[in-house]
Amino acid sequence: MAKAKKSTKKKDDPCWKGYNQLGTKTKGGKKVPNCVPKGKAKAKKSK
């Protein structure tokens, strides 16, 4: 039997691998996580 891989992703993390949540945004009248690529998240914080 093959062993299940351990996931390094947090259960509370709504973003894809390589993305970080940077607050929330409104989409279609609902609040959704604002997931941005890791490199862009750092650039936004420095401004």
pTM above 0.95, yes or no: no
Q: What is the pLDDT of residue 1?
A: 61
Segment 3-46, tens digit of pLDDT: 665 555 567 788 999 999 999 999 999 999 999 999 876 655 54
Q: What is the pLDDT of residue 19?
A: 94
Every domain of the chain and the residues it spans: 18-42
Q: What is the pLDDT of residue 12?
A: 78
Rounded to whole angstroms, the Cα distance separating 10 from 19 reads 12
Q: What is the pLDDT of residue 40?
A: 76
Is 47 a residue whose pLDDT tops 60?
A: no
Q: Closest Cα partner for 15 from 30, 37, 31?
A: 37
